[in-house]
Amino acid sequence: MKKIVSLFAKGNPLYQMLNDRAAKYAEEKGLAYEWVPMDPFTPEKAAAALKEADAGIIDVEPYDKEIFSQICDRTKLLIRFGVGFDAVNLADATAYGIKVARTQGANAGAVAEDALLMMMALRRKLNQGQVGVKTGNWVKEIGHETIGATVGILGFGAVGKTLARLLRGFGCRILAYDTYHDETAAAELGVEFVDADTIFQTCDAISIHLALNDATRGYVNAERLAMMKPDAVIVNTARGPLVDDEAMVAALKNHQIGGAGLDVFAEEPLPVTSPYIGLDNVILTPHVASSTVESLWNIYAMAIDVAYDFFHGTESAQTKRCWLN
């Protein structure tokens, strides 16, 4: 029986429940399953756990030849718990004969919902209102509705498409930028493909769902922020380094834009000395856009499905889009 070891998450009752459920699901698939919480993560602990398994479910920590060289005799598959894979050295993994996959689309609903929530809260200036009430400043901020707004989606993948589906209910005009144009999905969802500059120049709200790579690092920079309308808002639930923090802080401090919602950061946890702290036109959350019970279970289940297909030489419509090397 092939064995999966999950290194995702610290030990707590919620994750215990999810891993118990995952173990039962894996057993139904004819797979053994073990949860080894990394609390804290070290390459040595990760390697020790992985080399006792045929496949591993991993989190956001760096994985390269230091780990691959120790586990490659047995471990042939690593599955990223989530979508981003910038911390996994795919070239090293390939060199050591290890396949890498991600749980593409499993958390799309949670992330899209979170992006929409932040977008709406920013447009209605809820954070400013909350800060005011808590400090005795009873000022009624006047915001904007999302109904009928023009919304830009940077990155039209699984999350971007799900967000577009949600926005249709608000009667929004939806613009999207992506290097690949899925015309079928765009037609179904009423989405117009445009260039990125058009999104920054014309949209009332922008949501970032780009992959992080050399071309997109620092994508939201001073030049692009300067294109935005003064009451427009921008949300990042993708990857922190997509945003030039210095430029974003300046735009927020100078009220050059209406506000920003940031769930991800170049440095995590966000230092308490960050210049974002104290700004009332920014919503800050600790990388939790995908953190719902439903989303977490979807990811566990998809990871096990990927492992099943890998070891049985099969492929489903759901898992075939998950492979990275």
Packing angle, helices 108-123 and 293-312, rounded to 10: 150
Long-range contacts, 312-319 (Cβ 8 Å, 24+): 318/105, 319/101
What are the φ/ψ torsions at residue 129 (nearest 5 degrees)? -65, -40
When computed from its CA atoms, the radius of gyration of the chain, rounded to whole angstroms, is: 21
Please state, in angstroms and rounded to a whole number, the distance separating the CA atoms of residues 142 and 126. Answer: 10
Please state, in angstroms and rounded to a whole number, the distance separating the CA atoms of residues 184 and 215. Answer: 26
- Please list the helix, strand and coil fractions of the chain in percent, rounded to the nearest 5, in that order: 40, 15, 45
Nearest to 248 by CA among 284, 220, 272, 270: 220
pLDDT, position 19? 97
Nearest to 259 by CA among 204, 212, 197: 204
Packing angle, helices 108-123 and 126-134, rounded to 10: 60
- Contact in structure between 257 and 232 (CB atoms under 8 Å): yes
Average pLDDT on 258-279 reads: 97
Give SS3 for 299.
Answer: helix
Residue 309 has pLDDT above 90, yes or no: yes
Q: Which fold has domain 108-284?
A: Rossmann fold (3.40.50)
Token look-up 């999207």 returns 176
- Contact in structure between 77 and 31 (CB atoms under 8 Å): no
Could you tell me the CATH superfamily of domain 3-106+291-312?
NAD(P)-binding Rossmann-like Domain (3.40.50.720)
What is the length of the chain? 325
Q: What is the pTM of this model?
A: 0.91
Residue 17 has pLDDT above 90, yes or no: yes
pLDDT-derived band at 39, boundaries 50, 70, 90: confident
Average pLDDT on 188-210 reads: 99
Q: Do domains 3-106+291-312 and 108-284 have the same CATH topology?
A: yes
Question: What are the boundaries of each domain within the chain?
Answer: 3-106+291-312, 108-284
Catalytic residues: 239, 268, 287
pLDDT, position 161? 99
Report CA-CA distances (Å) from 253 to 131, 198, 280: 16, 24, 9
Residue 114 has pLDDT above 90, yes or no: yes
Nearest to 94 by CA among 311, 299, 314, 323: 323
